[in-house]
Structure 1
Amino acid sequence: MADDTRSRIQAIALDLFSEQGYDATSLREIAERLGVTKAALYYHFKSKEEIVESLTSDHVKRLDTLLEWAEGKEPTQAFRIEFLHRYMDNLNASQHLKIMKFIQQNQPAMKNMANAAKWRESLHKMVSVLAGEKASPTERMRMGLALFGLHASAMLLPEGEVSEQDRRQAALTVAEELITGSAGRAD
């Protein structure tokens, strides 16, 4: 039950942060939208920063699990494609698209949060895992753009313009083309 309440708080806070901005949203407003007292909210989170840190912390934990799975594996094409699919599953398991929108709209608030630095570090590790130790700058760039494409898919193919399934498939197709070096297929 506590995990469900925690998830509800995160979802509502994220919606409010995205609608109004981080600085313009108060804990009181989050509690009101939840239909609980501010004291009940404090039981789970003492501040807005704690809410945001919890959202990014959950994502960083999923990244750590993915990187543990990838540890020691050769960066073959099959491994890279499997990694992309697992990563996309991780993004879809979280409120990643909303979190990315929040980060984009509230960069000053995110700048100094501890998990933001961990997230950037994990992204660098993922590029290294996908590219391999002896990769050229071009190859590292290709791997990074493949990952970034998964992140940016919601901004490039906004909700309402395409279905979630079509957005996901388009993002994975482009990421796979970057990973494998094959492109030019018209859909």
Structure 2
Amino acid sequence: MTNIQLTILLEKYAETITKVNHKNIIEFFGITQDYEADNYYMVLQYAGNGDLEHYLNAHFSKLKWPTKIRMAQEISSGIDCLHNANIVHRDLHNKNILVHGDRMIITDFGLSLSLDNVAASIRSRVYGRCEYSDPQYINATSEYKWNKYSDIYSLGVLFWELSSGVPPFKAFKNRVTRMSMHLIR
């Protein structure tokens, strides 16, 4: 990736994430550059408990239903904020939900897009993790128009994971991923 491409990507990320201000969406502080190494870095909010996948692996057996419900509500509240700003995340999964204290924080807006940009909402290549992706996206034989329902499907997969401790397709993950990739081609 060239510096120009990286700069465009970082600007898009910053533009998207600064459109929203919500306690369940990662806070963006800025971008800095290490001139000697020619690297760019995003400065984001700290989340001390890692991602949701690791958090559930470590703590699931101790989580009570009221806590699981609150976690689901917080993720939903963040998605609602994005959708009210006409933003679709497109890559919502357990690694893109961070845990800070007892708060859920949605992160990784690298694939997100504004629905105001109709051309950008058309799929031209594969994005995200198949097991969290909308089946209509996986099964699309041609262009797929991203919409808020794509995130809602991913949210449902996260709810399953919050209630059971594992993603719904874990036993079939490798098979599902291979089949999905075959269908996409």
TM-score (norm 2): 0.30
Q: TM-score, normalising length from structure 1? A: 0.30
More helix by share: 1
